[in-house]
């Protein structure tokens, strides 16, 4: 009888352990902890990942972290990246695949001081423009190529300075225009004391050169395993629950972001501003709009003699994960 009881105890313990087992997913962010990634932190904080049977680790990014390299090196299962960077990496041999696109719209802009005399892109010639690199420069370079403006300086071209992840070049008048995101640096410019009426803003979407940002990418080989596809589908589903909650509760989402910022560099007021702007970029679901993806490809291939990518990518995105996520309860 004791043996039977012992056996039953072991069996129950085994069942309990199995019920509690969760699939591990490591997410590498494109940048530091901020409301740009609020949906993922909210999904973790509110238990959405746990409910989906997932044990998710969120790794912040930074100026010295390239998500593509982290993924290729096995340091993450999923990364948040911009499509231009992902497609450039794919053409170079890293088989990245977009499995979901929470951000349906681009937040990228070029923000200029009105006093520089810039009223339209035709006034860029001879000006100094601040640009982010590390993969973020691709949409800008394609835009300049479309305008026929060389990026090597001179009166008929533009002088490009490598912009840090701040707005100092505009504040200190080292550049006539700088790169900004609607949800981040533009707010920093306003906070620095330059009112909106003293600025001229060129939104990449309005200029017809917008590319997809903040998609979720994995390695192509991982999609060959049905169990991994199922895991990614649960991750996408739970993440979108997080994004929906964040959009509906922006102040709480901002507080969750602050709680996860181990650097202490973020402020609640700025994260609240950021969350409000981020909500405007989110899609209704995570399904990729193939027309937007194809437009991104067209923008990147329209780079004149030095395009970002030289041929139309094949297999660079898939709906297999979002299709399965849509089927989940």
Phi and psi at 186, nearest 5°, equal -60, -40
Position 235 pLDDT exceeds 70: yes
Q: Are residues 133 and 36 in the same domain?
A: no
Per-residue pLDDT tens over the stretch 259-283: 999 999 999 999 999 999 999 999 9
Domain count, the chain: 2
Residue 6 domain-assigned (yes or no): no
Q: Is the pLDDT of residue 14 over 90?
A: no
Q: Based on C-alpha coordinates, what's the Rg of the chain? A: 22
**What range defines the domain where residue 184 resides?**
108-203
Identify whether 258 is part of a domain.
Answer: yes
Residue-wise pLDDT for 62-110, tens only, equals 988 999 999 999 999 999 999 999 999 999 999 999 999 999 999 999 9
Which residues, in sequence order, are CB contacts of 243 under 8 Å at separation 6+? 38, 39, 42, 43, 102, 282
The DSSP call for residue 271 is H
Same domain as 96, residue 128:
no
- 63 with 140, same domain? no
- The answer to whether residues 77 and 216 belong to one domain is yes
Mean pLDDT of the chain: 91
Which residue among 171, 203, 235 closes a domain?
Answer: 203
Of 289 and 138, which is predicted with more confidence? 289
In a shared domain, residues 76 and 32: yes
Same domain, 100 and 218: yes
The candidate with the shortest Cα–Cα distance to 46, out of 227, 273, 275, 259, is 259
Which of 152, 175, 203 is the last residue in one of the domains? 203
Q: What is the CATH number of the domain that holds 176?
A: 3.40.190.10
Q: Are residues 237 and 199 in the same domain?
A: no
Residue 134 binned pLDDT confidence (cut-offs 50, 70, 90): confident
The number of helices, as runs of H, and strands, as runs of E, in the chain is 13, 10
User: Within this chain, do residues 79 and 32 fall inside the same structural domain, yes or no?
Assistant: yes
Q: Residues 168-211: pLDDT tens digits?
A: 999 999 999 999 999 999 999 999 999 999 999 999 999 988 99
Asked whether residue 9 is assigned to any structural domain, the reply reads: no
Please state, in angstroms and rounded to a whole number, the distance separating the CA atoms of residues 135 and 84.
7
Rounded Cα–Cα distance for residues 36 and 165 (Å): 14
Q: How far is CA 208 from CA 251, 290, 296, 298, in A?
A: 33, 16, 10, 11
- What is the pLDDT at residue 275? 98
| Amino acid 11: pLDDT | 42
| Residue in 64, 92, 96, 59 with CA at minimum distance from that of residue 81 | 96
Q: Give the model's pLDDT for residue 13.
A: 41
Token pair 């990729």 in the structure block, residue: 288
Please name the residue that has the structure tokens 């998609």: 215
Does any domain span residue 132?
A: yes
- Residue 8 maps to a domain: no
Residues 142 and 39 in one domain: no
CA pair distance 223, 321, nearest whole angstrom: 9
Last residue of a domain, one of 159, 182, 203: 203
Are 235 and 310 contained in the same domain?
A: yes
Q: Above 90 in pLDDT, residue 151?
A: yes
- Residue 5 inside a domain? The answer is no
Q: Averaged over 1-27, what is the pLDDT?
A: 55
pLDDT beyond 90 at 3: no
Helices (H), the chain: 2-20, 38-45, 48-51, 67-72, 83-91, 138-147, 168-171, 185-191, 226-248, 250-260, 268-278, 290-301, 320-327
User: Is 1 contained in some domain?
Assistant: no
Residues 181 and 81 in one domain: no
Does residue 13 form part of some domain?
Answer: no
**219 shares its domain with 323:** yes
pTM of the model: 0.88
pLDDT greater than 70 at residue 4: no
Q: Report CA-CA distances (Å) from 236 to 206, 241, 325.
A: 29, 9, 7
Residue with the bigger pLDDT between 14 and 162: it is 162
Per-residue pLDDT band for 161 (boundaries 50, 70, 90) equals: very high
Closest CA to 61 of 42, 91, 36, 24: 36
Contact, 176 vs 112, CB < 8 A? yes
């Amino acid at each position: 009888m004791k043996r039977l009881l012992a056996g039953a105890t072991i069996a129950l313990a085994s069942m309990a352990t199995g019920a509690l087992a969760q699939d591990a997913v490591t997410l590498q962010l494109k940048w530091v902890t901020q409301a740009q990634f609020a949906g993922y932190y909210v999904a973790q904080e509110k238990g959405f990942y746990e409910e989906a049977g997932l044990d998710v680790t969120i790794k912040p990014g930074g100026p010295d972290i390239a998500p593509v390299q982290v993924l290729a090196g096995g340091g993450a299962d999923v990364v948040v990246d911009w499509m231009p960077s992902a497609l450039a990496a794919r053409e170079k041999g890293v088989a990245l695949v977009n499995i979901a696109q929470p951000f349906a719209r681009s937040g990228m802009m070029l923000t200029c001081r009105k006093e520089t005399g810039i009223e339209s892109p035709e006034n860029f010639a001879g000006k100094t423009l601040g640009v982010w690199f590390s993969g973020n420069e691709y949409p800008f370079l394609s835009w300049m190529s479309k305008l026929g403006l060389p990026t090597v300086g001179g009166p008929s071209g533009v002088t490009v300075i490598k912009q840090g992840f701040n707005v100092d070049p505009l504040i200190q008048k080292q550049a006539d225009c700088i790169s900004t995101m609607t949800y981040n640096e533009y707010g920093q410019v306003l906070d620095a004391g330059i009112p909106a009426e003293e600025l001229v803003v060129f939104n990449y979407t309005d200029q017809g050169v917008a590319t997809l940002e903040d998609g979720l990418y994995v390695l192509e080989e991982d999609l060959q395993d049905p169990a991994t596809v199922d895991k990614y589908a649960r991750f996408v589903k739970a993440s979108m629950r997080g994004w929906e909650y964040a959009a509906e509760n922006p102040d709480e989402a901002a507080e969750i972001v602050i709680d996860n910022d181990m650097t202490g560099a973020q402020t609640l007021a700025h994260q609240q501003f950021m969350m409000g702007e981020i909500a405007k970029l989110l899609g209704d679901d995570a399904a990729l709009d193939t027309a937007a993806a194809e437009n991104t490809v067209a923008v990147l291939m329209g780079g004149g003699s030095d395009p970002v990518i030289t041929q139309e990518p094949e297999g660079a995105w898939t709906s297999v994960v979002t299709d399965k996520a849509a089927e989940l309860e």
